[in-house]
A = this chain, B = another copy of it.
Amino acid sequence: MEPSTDPNNSNNAVANPNVHHHCMDMEAEITAPEVHKVVAPPPRTTLQKLKSRLKETFFPDDPLRQFEGQPRGKRFILGAQYVFPILQWGPHYSLQLFKSDIVAGLTIASLAIPQGISYAKLASLPPIVGLYSSFAPPLVYAVLGSSRDLAVGPVSIASLLMGSMLRQEVSPTKQPLLFLQLAFSSTFFAGLFQASLGFLRLGFIIDFLSKATLIGFMAGAAIIVSLQQLKSLLGIVHFTPQMGLVPVLSSVFHQTNEWSWQTILMGVCFLGLLLLARHVSMRRPRLFWISAGAPLLSVILSTLVVFAFKAQHHGISIIGKLQEGLNPPSWDMLHFHGSYLGLVMKTGLITGIISLTEGIAVGRTFAALKNYQVDGNKEMIAIGLMNIVGSSTSCYVTTGAFSRSAVNHNAGAKTAVSNIVMSITVMVTLLFLMPLFQYTPNVVLGAIIVTAVIGLIDVPAAYAIWKIDKFDFVVMLCAFFGVLFISVQDGLAIAVGISIFKILLQITRPKTVMLGNIPGTDLYRNLHQYKEAIRISGFLILSIEASINFTNTTYLKERISRWIDEYEAEDVKKQSCLRYVILELSAVSAIDTSGVSFFNDLRLALEKKNIELVLVNPLGEVMEKLQKADEGNDLLRQDSLYLSVGEAVASLSSSLKPAARV
């Protein structure tokens, strides 16, 4: 009975297997139980296998699918659209869309300007670099990026990381020019590294930062960043250059004489204002503009207050004079050799990965909300090129910022034009409004940073992790406390190391479970999970739940021999005897040469005990390798290889009968 492909008939086709099956069973009762053969997949050459493996590894999303079967001209257009997504949406751009984008763009600009200044200070860079970084990179991203919601610019975590890593070797106060050069060079390497990852389709590297790691890391970093703000919030002049929880707190409480009550008062007021605005917007997402506008409002208000009361003479530190004008070129400031090359490459690598992770995650989050695709590798190239361009136009590391992207999305951004609007607004600021920031107090910038990073501490997510997976929770805690007490980059490294170790441990110690028959079916399931499942006397049915490779063959040998010993110890009481060990291999997706010897060794060991080894449902690759290795011995004899446990048990127990009668 061939399945019908006629859609009108599809219900029948679906119901067929059952009917068909039923007929077969009828026959099966008359003759011997029916057995289906296990076959290997059709043979392929090594080259074909390598090709399909490489495709699965580097092009799982098959980005060139759309080009197939298209005429040449169309292919060229599709190719250009693939490289420059602006060509995709640009032609259809309308006034309607522009109206939405201009509102969103102005909103995020009002957030980007104070945050840019603040984050640059966090990275120990001149405040104006933060504004430069909000001007050039968004323009690049608008052309190359495929996310419609990402608002790009400097972000807190990358700023913190870059500042803290560079400060380990160079002092930003004693050698400001060198520090700036190193920051630009690190940005260049970050961009180069990001673009290469995307170009080489190695985007999966960022997947090794698990959600648990990131939550712990972000929370730790948020606290470190907030602690750094105690300098401006309390008005301390001689602050420790270290980042850890202990040195910062000890520095704060040893310098109580430097605390300035005017600064503290101002800080508390504006921090309260900003937190209130944040709270309101979180409660009512439609009021997003309150928290979006609050930072700029605070800057304006506080600047007016300082200006009016001449507060800079009363212990409140201010930004000071800022240079007017657009980004100066900086390609002659990049270090490609010399003694700091290692430092800038390392800094670029780590800030590059972290900012990439944030940018991609944010892009994917909003793409999922609006139901469009973001190609991770393409985004990496876009973010990477943006940073390479940035590094030669006086910008430091930028990426898609979570808070600003959320505001962008809520404000109704439709395309990357909102980034262009933001960029132009920042340009106008750079050209004409810089003198206005002269009296902006540093304390308000500190308050803005604290408000921005406080959202990175995600307690509900941490609780959910605790509930679902205790090990992930431990990983999270390691990242968190590592960042707090050791250092930002070491905390991250420890958490990643532990996560990978966990996976290796899972492979080294794969689960083996005993299966039993679910009454009334042909199904065999875990006896521990399904209490109604029953053991079949004379059979030990084990399921191996992982690939078999060199890391676990020794373990599997020991574990299976323990299963057999335990089974036999029970059998002695019951006076029955073990005849067959059935290995259900449905979950063994791959084996290597050690895995192949494992089966041979096991078969020999069982033979000595007069027990037969039966394999059930080896998957394609496993079957293929067993077949190749099986010239000469008989691991794959017809009576020791079945397609399902049910068939194996039925067939073997029917052959048991005559033996029992003899």
A residues adjacent to B (C-beta < 8 A): 1, 3, 5, 7, 10-11, 13-15, 17-26, 28-29, 33-34, 36, 39-42, 46, 49-50, 56-57, 60-62, 65, 204, 207-213, 368, 371, 373, 376, 464-465, 467-472, 499-500, 503-511, 513, 517-523, 525-526, 528-531, 534-539, 545-547, 549-555, 558-559, 561-562, 565, 574-576, 586-590, 592-594, 596-597, 601, 604-605, 608, 617, 619-620, 623, 625, 628-629, 643-644, 646, 649-650, 653-654, 656-657, 660
Consensus secondary structure, chain A interface = helix
A25-B24 contact, Cβ under 8 Å, with A518-B643, A586-B586: no
A26 to B3 Cα, complex, angstroms = 22
A641 to chain B, nearest CB (A): 14
* Set B18, B517, B593, B620: member contacting A464, Cβ < 8 A: B593
By a CB distance below 8 angstroms, the chain B residues around A14 are 536-539, 649-650, 653, 656
A310 to B138 Cα, complex, angstroms = 88
Given A10-B576, A368-B605, A472-B592; 12 other pairs, CB 8 A cutoff: A3-B535, A11-B656, A18-B646, A24-B521, A60-B559, A65-B562, A204-B551, A204-B554, A373-B561, A521-B643, A525-B617, A526-B620
* Set B42, B210, B620, B649: member contacting A550, Cβ < 8 A: B210
Contact B550 A212 (CB under 8 A): yes
A536 to B21 Cα, complex, angstroms = 15
By a CB distance below 8 angstroms, the chain B residues around A465 are 593
Contact A25 B17 (CB under 8 A): no
> Smallest CB-CB separation from A556: which chain B residue?
B60
By a CB distance below 8 angstroms, the chain B residues around A531 are 39, 42
A517-B17 contact, Cβ under 8 Å, with A11-B653, A525-B617: yes
- A-B residue pairs in contact (CB < 8 Å), sample of 26: A3-B519, A5-B574, A14-B649, A14-B656, A20-B519, A40-B529, A46-B470, A57-B505, A60-B559, A61-B558, A61-B559, A61-B562, A207-B550, A208-B550, A213-B550, A368-B601, A464-B593, A468-B592, A468-B596, A468-B629, A469-B593, A518-B643, A523-B643, A523-B644, A525-B617, A586-B586
Contact B61 A17 (CB under 8 A): no
* Set B50, B56, B470, B594: member contacting A211, Cβ < 8 A: B594
A21-B522 contact, Cβ under 8 Å, with A538-B14, A660-B11: yes
A176 to chain B, nearest CB (A): 39
> Smallest CB-CB separation from A20: which chain B residue?
B520
Copies held by the complex: 2
By a CB distance below 8 angstroms, the chain B residues around A535 are 3
A525 to B616 Cα, complex, angstroms = 12
A509 to B213 Cα, complex, angstroms = 20
Contact B18 A25 (CB under 8 A): yes
* Set B28, B208, B523, B529: member contacting A551, Cβ < 8 A: B208
> Smallest CB-CB separation from A621: which chain B residue?
B511
A33 to B15 Cα, complex, angstroms = 10
By a CB distance below 8 angstroms, the chain B residues around A528 are 41-42, 620
A60 to B557 Cα, complex, angstroms = 10
A507 to B531 Cα, complex, angstroms = 31
A601 to B643 Cα, complex, angstroms = 33
> Smallest CB-CB separation from A596: which chain B residue?
B468
* Set B21, B204, B509, B592: member contacting A25, Cβ < 8 A: B21
> Smallest CB-CB separation from A528: which chain B residue?
B41
A648 to B506 Cα, complex, angstroms = 30
A471-B592 contact, Cβ under 8 Å, with A17-B646, A653-B15: yes
By a CB distance below 8 angstroms, the chain B residues around A212 are 550, 592-594
Contact A643 B13 (CB under 8 A): no
Contact B39 A204 (CB under 8 A): no
In the A-B complex, the 9 residue pairs with the smallest Cβ-Cβ separation, listed nearest first, are A210-B550, A14-B653, A545-B589, A587-B587, A10-B537, A24-B520, A7-B576, A41-B529, A61-B558
**Chain B CB within 10 A, most for which of A57, A510, A520:** A520
Contact A552 B207 (CB under 8 A): yes
A277 to chain B, nearest CB (A): 29
A620 to B555 Cα, complex, angstroms = 21
By a CB distance below 8 angstroms, the chain B residues around A513 are 619-620
Contact A207 B508 (CB under 8 A): yes
> Smallest CB-CB separation from A575: which chain B residue?
B7
A469 to chain B, nearest CB (A): 5
A594 to B208 Cα, complex, angstroms = 11
A552 to chain B, nearest CB (A): 7
By a CB distance below 8 angstroms, the chain B residues around A523 are 36, 643-644
By a CB distance below 8 angstroms, the chain B residues around A558 are 60-61
By a CB distance below 8 angstroms, the chain B residues around A204 are 508-509, 551, 554-555
> Smallest CB-CB separation from A537: which chain B residue?
B10
By a CB distance below 8 angstroms, the chain B residues around A596 are 468-469
By a CB distance below 8 angstroms, the chain B residues around A594 are 210-212
